[in-house]
Structure 1
Amino acid sequence: MDSQQQFRAGESRGQGQAMTEDWLQSAKDTTNAARDKVSDVTHHTSNSAQQHKDESAGFLHQKGEQMMNMAQGAVDSVKSTLGVGDNSNIKK
């Protein structure tokens, strides 16, 4: 092989290596972008789940309080109807 052929062979090998490095960098960039998107979605989903959990807990607490007040009202009504106890001594 003469020097011209060796030069072209080296040049082709160098171009191949450069293309390979470009392809690898592109693959790394794509992987990093996908990882970032998954991280963002995971973070958003976690925040959303926590918000819904908090809202549900607040709703259940409110409904529990309403049920307790209704039950106490029923007890007071029965006691009043039966003339049992003094309404000022009822614990709430």
Structure 2
Amino acid sequence: MSSEKQNLKAGESHGQCQEKAEEWMQSTKDTANAAMDKTADATQSAKNAAPENKEQAAGFLQQTGEQVKGMAQGAVDTVKSTLGVGDKK
């Protein structure tokens, strides 16, 4: 009878382990699905924001380009003035 009890306990333990493993597998699948959903949401959000960011970047670059152009023109005018070259009004 002792052998039967041991076999019964072993079977119960095996069943409990299998049940836990299945729970963990399901939990892992749920976590993976949630991560994929969040990734898809983030990707879509980035795609939606891209045109707006593109316009802001273009505006910033244009403004910066105009500032650099102005500074370069100022430097040229300063050099011309220093050397006594250029338009005299």
Which TM-score band (shorter chain)? 0.5 to 0.7
Q: Which runs of 5 or more residues in structure 2 are unaligned?
A: 64-89
**2:23 aligned to which of 17, 37, 44:** 37
Q: Secondary structure of the residue that 2:33 maps to in structure 1?
A: helix
TM-score (norm 2): 0.61
Structure 2 equivalent of residue 64 of structure 1: 50
Higher relative contact order (CA 8 A, sep 6+): 1
**2:6 aligned to which of 8, 20, 25:** 20
Task: State the alpha-carbon separation in 2 of the partners of residues 54 and 65 from structure 1.
Answer: 18
Alignment RMSD (CA, Å): 1.9
Residue 47, structure 1, aligned to residue 19, structure 2: no
TM-score (norm 1): 0.59
Q: 1:68 Cα deviation (Å)?
A: 2.2
Task: State the alpha-carbon separation in 2 of the partners of residues 65 and 54 from structure 1.
Answer: 18
Identity of aligned residues (%): 8
Q: Which runs of 4+ in 1 moved over 6 A?
A: none
Aligned length: 61
Q: 1:70 Cα deviation (Å)?
A: 4.9
